[in-house]
């Protein structure tokens, strides 16, 4: 009887899950197999929206850019975050101040960072090009050349998310007890060997968490290319989310947008599943 009463408290959670997870999921799937005109479902489209996706060169173009962006951004944020965490995982003066300053970009809205990037990467005497000129380098077409624009988008994202990797990895490093290092130092004097065979295995679950969260988040990137490059030049920096947004909310082609959104969901779910399979023992 007591247990039955306790079950009542699960009801709000069930309502929440149905309202905000199950219903949108089911409804958006229905939309993805429907014909839509000005926001209203007008008929059954079957799998035509999914078929269309695979024959759409723009879809493949945005997917290609998304994969490039994810690769550069995730690798760079993780390496930089780890590097910074290793640097700051020692006793030094002013550590707290540095840590606070380092984490500031993390608390800034991505869209604001994008607009800030427009000013920073402004080709005609913007601060970045002025600095490069001061260093004796040429003017870089940050926002008007496809490859440089790709790099600019990645740089803004890395700028924002490196502090995230830094905080998590620093916490991981600080959880390793000093005794382990003291024992390791008896066996070797090489810092690299200690890092390779002691530090890295011990922070591996934390590193995995950082990688998974960054991967999932990077696949959903929208704000930075939206505000920094508007997806251009051409479609050079148009991400899959940007394309979904354009098709769904600007062109009101909601069926097609939903089909692509399902594709994106499948990718991110696969990453999540791989992660949970790899680190299952930690969560059970």
Partner 1 sequence: MRKMSLVLSVLVILSLLFSFSLVWAQEGASELEIKTADAAFEAADKGNPDPAWKGQKLTIGVYSAGPRGAISGPLYFWRPYFEKLTGATYDIVEIPFAELREKIFTDLMTGTGTYDIIVGPSWFYGDYISNDWIVPSDKYLNDPRMPKWEPASILPPLQELYSWGGKWVGFNNDHDGQVLYYRRDILNDPKWQEEFKKETGKDMPVPPKTWDEVYEITKFFHGKDWNGDGEPDYGITMHLKVAGQGFFHFMALSAPYVVAPAPGDDPNKVTRYHNVYWFDPETMEPLVNTPGFVEALNMLLKLSKTGPSAMWGWSLGEAWDAFLRGKAVICFSWGDVGSLSQLPDQSSIKGKLGVAPIPGSEKYYDLETKQWVEKRNFVANTVGASWHGVISKFSKNQDLAAYFLSWQATPPINHWNVVWGWTGVDPGTLYDLLQPTGKSTIEEYVATGYEAEDAKQFVNAYEEMWYKYPLKQSYLRIPGTPEMWEIWDIHLSEAVTGQVTPEEALNRTAEDWNAIIDRLGREQLKKIYQEAIGYKPE
Residues that bind partner 1 (CB under 8 A): 38-39, 57, 122-124, 141-146, 149, 226, 229-236, 246, 249-253
- Residue 32 CB, shortest distance to partner 1, in Å, is 16
Q: What is residue 137's three-state secondary structure?
A: coil
Q: Which is nearer to partner 1, 83 or 232 (CB)?
A: 232
Least CB distance from residue 226 to partner 1, whole Å?
8
Least distance (Å) between residue 96 CB and partner 1: 34
Residues 6+ apart with CB under 8 A from 259: 32, 49, 50, 52, 53
Measured from the CB atom, the residue of 209 and 235 that comes closer to partner 1 is: 235
> Would you say 83 or 141 has its CB closer to partner 1?
141
- Minimum CB separation from partner 1 for residue 245, in Å? 9
Q: How is residue 76 written in tokens?
A: 């760079």
Residue of 211, 73, 58, 238 whose CA lies nearest to 151: 73
Q: Which is nearer to partner 1, 105 or 231 (CB)?
A: 231
Question: Cβ of residue 109: shortest distance to partner 1, in angstroms?
Answer: 15
Which spans in the chain are helix H? 2-7, 11-17, 23-32, 48-54, 57-88, 95-103, 110-120, 127-134, 146-174, 178-187, 191-194, 200-219, 223-228, 240-245, 254-278, 280-283
* CA–CA dist 18, 16 (Å, integer): 6
Nearer to partner 1, 108 or 144 (CB): 144
CB of 216 to partner 1, least distance (A): 26
Compute and round to an integer the Cα radius of gyration of the chain.
23
Nearest CB to partner 1, comparing residues 61 and 83: 61
Q: How far apart are CA 240 and CA 221, in angstroms?
A: 8
Interior angle at CA 132, CA 128 and CA 134, nearest 5: 115
């Amino acid at each position: 009887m007591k247990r039955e009463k306790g079950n009542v408290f699960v009801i709000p959670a069930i309502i929440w899950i149905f309202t905000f997870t199950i219903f949108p999921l089911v409804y958006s799937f229905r939309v993805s197999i429907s014909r839509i005109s000005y926001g209203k479902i007008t008929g059954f489209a079957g799998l035509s929206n999914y078929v269309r996706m695979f024959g759409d060169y723009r879809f493949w173009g945005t997917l290609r850019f998304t994969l490039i962006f994810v690769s550069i951004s995730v690798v760079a944020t993780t390496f930089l975050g780890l590097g910074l965490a290793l640097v700051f995982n020692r006793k030094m003066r002013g550590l707290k101040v540095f840590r606070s300053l380092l984490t500031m970009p993390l608390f800034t809205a991505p869209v604001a960072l994008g607009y800030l990037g427009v000013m920073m990467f402004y080709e005609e005497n913007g601060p970045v090009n002025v600095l490069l000129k001061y260093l004796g380098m040429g003017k870089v077409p940050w926002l008007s050349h496809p490859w440089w624009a790709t790099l600019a988008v990645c740089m803004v994202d890395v700028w924002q998310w490196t502090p995230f990797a830094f905080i998590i990895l620093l916490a991981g490093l600080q959880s390793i007890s000093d005794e382990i290092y003291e024992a390791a130092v008896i066996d070797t004097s090489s810092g690299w060997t200690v890092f390779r065979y002691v530090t890295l295995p011990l922070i591996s679950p934390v590193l995995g968490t950082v990688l998974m969260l960054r991967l999932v988040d990077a696949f959903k990137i929208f704000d930075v290319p939206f505000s920094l490059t508007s997806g251009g030049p051409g479609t050079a920096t148009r991400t899959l989310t940007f394309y979904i947004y354009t098709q769904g909310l600007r062109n009101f082609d909601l069926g097609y947008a939903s089909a692509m959104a399902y594709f994106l969901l499948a990718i991110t779910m696969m990453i999540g599943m791989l992660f949970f399979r790899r680190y299952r023992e930690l969560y059970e």
